Every structure is written in structure tokens, then in C-alpha cells.
Amino acid sequence: MNLNQFRKRFPTEDVARKFLEKAIWPNGRFCPHCGCLKSWPIRGRTTRSGLYECGGCHGQFTVTTKTPLHGTKLPLRIWLMALYFMVNSSKGVSSVFLAKWIGVNQKTAWKIGHAIRAMMAAHGNAIGQLSGIVELDEKYLGGKPRFQRGVKHPRGKGTRKSCVHVAVSRQGPARASVVDNDSYATLAPHVRKVVAADAQLMTDQLQTYVAIGKDFASHESVHHGIKEFARGNAHVNTAESFNATLERAKQGIFHYISRQHLPRYLGEVVFRWNNRDPVEKKQRNGLSKIVMQAKPVLEQFDNLLKYAVGTQLRRTIYGGIAVPQPLFGG
Ligand SMILES: [Zn+2]
């Protein structure tokens, strides 16, 4: 779907609102205040359309109440357009470009970007435990230290950069989370949380995994230190390919990532990775090859907006944003 087709799909605010109502309430309208399924539209000459009254708590709500779009003064079509650009780019969109494309100022675009990332992160958290062959790896992300003449800064592990733990199932989704460090005490409970016990683990030579691997169906590792990158079916190439997309997103879009916002940036990279389908592509030599291709835009919208309610960003008194606790334990 190109931008022109996209504009034609959403010609008015009403169409955009109806689309959002279907995507945000896929199982029917519910009150975001109390969860009640009974509600009715409030009609009146002065009432804005899309306003409902709850039969349970008698509170009023719209489709954006208690979502990252809560209280937005922007047209819903601008939000959908921002979603379109975020979902369509292969490695993310900077707030500077997003601002130009959707016609808002950079500060607003930055907030819109994070609101969308918050839903992407919620989508990633809802994946549940990975199973089958699961590759584990760690990646260190963070800003470069200030340049100092003659000083060579260490890279990766042991620096102040954030440790990101990556778990990728070879034929399925990925998960990425910020962890404190790569010690057994930190990683063991984390891996048990994101990976099912019947999974076959593949890791590099990090010693911690030897002990962690005992809790799973099997564990094989490759030793990168002695230039061993694959041994039969044992490799972590999928995890490394995921890390490469993470690195590209970091280089391209979020050059400097603060610890506070890092989980949401990770959510974006994970969302993109998990919203692809295998597609058969004919090659020049006549053979076909399976490549991963992004799902259709509107399908990705539906996947994302399901997680809108309860994922809310609030402005802090310092003008930044904060993430309150989810409403329904999700
Ligand atoms: Zn209610």
C-alpha cells in the first residue's frame, strides 16, 4: 500500500475513527475505565462523534481514552499517517523526519513516535515464551563516551552501556530486553521467563549459559573466540542477524539512547522483526529462496492497536514522558 492508496483509504476523520474502533476493540467495545462491555453512543448537537457512555460506571470515553493517543488534539488521520511511516520504514524514523512528513513540530513527533513504540513494546511483551530452537545472545548499547584525545574507550561489555539480552526462535519471533548484566543471577531467571523449558538453546561460549542450559531440553554452544561460528545445526546466526538490525536502527535513528527510553526502542525493532512473513522469491538461477517480508501495513496496524488500551504515556512535570502501570495487568 503506497501513501496515495493510504490517503484514499482514510479520506475523513470518521473513517479513521471507525478503523481505530475496530482495531482497538477487536472483540467489541469496552469501557477503558472499568472494562464493562455495555455502553452507548452519546448523541447531541454539541457532542463530538465517537463519545460513549459506559453502562457500568457511567464514565465517558472515546476510542483513544487510556491509550497512547489519550487526550490527543491531533486529527486521528495524522496518527494513522505516523503509524504508516513507522511501520513502513525498515529501520525506524527519526522524529525530525516524522515531523516533516506528517506536518507537526519535532517535539510532537517525538512524543508520537514514543507513543507508537509503547504499543510496539506491549506487542512484544505479549508474545510469551519462545520454543523450538532458541538462540540467545547479548548486545551492549549506549551512547559513545565523549571524545578525548589519546584516550581509547573500551567497547561493549564492562562499560557503562546497557546490556540487552536477545532471544530469537529460529523459525519464529524474537524478544529483547534490557538486563542489568550477564551474570548467572541476572540471566537465569530472565531466560526462564522468556524461553520455554522444552526449547533447544543455542548460545555462544559465555560461561553463564553452561549452567543456564541445564534447565532446558538441550543446549549447544559455538566458540566465537576460536573462530567457530557454526557446527552442524549449532549456530547463533539468527540472533546475530537480529543484533545487526538493532545496530542499524541505533546508527540510523537513535544515535544516543537513554536507558529510560531503550526498552521502547527495542520494542520497535522487535515489532518489526516479528511482523514479517516468509515469502518464496524466485532467484536469477531459477531456484527459489525463502525471504522474510514485512506483513501488509493494515495487518500490522491491527496487531499493534490491539495493545493500545492500558498502554498510556503521560507527560511528566519536566515535559518528558512516563509510562504508568498497565490497567488490566497486561
Ligand atoms: Zn465503565
To which CATH superfamily is domain 133-143+159-274 assigned?
A: Ribonuclease H-like superfamily/Ribonuclease H (3.30.420.10)
CB–CB of 321/315 below 8 Å?
A: yes
What are the boundaries of each domain within the chain? 133-143+159-274
CB–CB of 267/294 below 8 Å?
A: no
- Report d(CA 326, CA 330) in Å as an integer: 6
Distance 301 CA to ligand 1 centre (A): 26
Q: Which helix (H) or strand (E) holds 165?
A: strand 162-169
Distance 42 CA to ligand 1 centre (A): 14
Distance 57 CA to ligand 1 centre (A): 4
Distance 39 CA to ligand 1 centre (A): 8
Q: How would you classify the pairing of strands 60-61 and 52-54?
A: antiparallel
28's torsion region: left (phi>0), alpha (psi -120 to 50) or beta? left
Check residue 146 and give its pLDDT.
Answer: 57
Task: Say yes or no to pLDDT of 153 above 70.
Answer: no
Distance 309 CA to ligand 1 centre (A): 13
Q: Which helix (H) or strand (E) holds 49?
A: none
Average pLDDT over the chain reads 85
**Torsion from C-alpha of 298, 299, 302, 307, nearest 10 degrees:** -120
Q: Is 35 helix (H, G, I), strand (E, B) or coil?
A: coil
- 9 to each of 6, 69, 153, 281, 306, how far by Cα in Å? 5, 21, 51, 29, 20
Radius of gyration of the chain (CA): 22
Could you tell me which residues are beta bridge partners of residue 290?
280
Q: Which helix (H) or strand (E) holds 261?
A: none
Distance 62 CA to ligand 1 centre (A): 12
Distance 53 CA to ligand 1 centre (A): 8
Check residue 269 and give its pLDDT.
Answer: 93
- Structure confidence by residue, pLDDT tens digits, 73-130: 899 999 999 999 999 988 888 889 999 999 999 999 988 998 899 899 988 888 889 9
Distance 55 CA to ligand 1 centre (A): 7
- Report d(CA 39, CA 34) in Å as an integer: 11
- pLDDT category, 150, cuts 50, 70, 90? low
- Report d(CA 92, CA 109) in Å as an integer: 13
Distance 60 CA to ligand 1 centre (A): 8
Check residue 1 and give its pLDDT.
Answer: 84
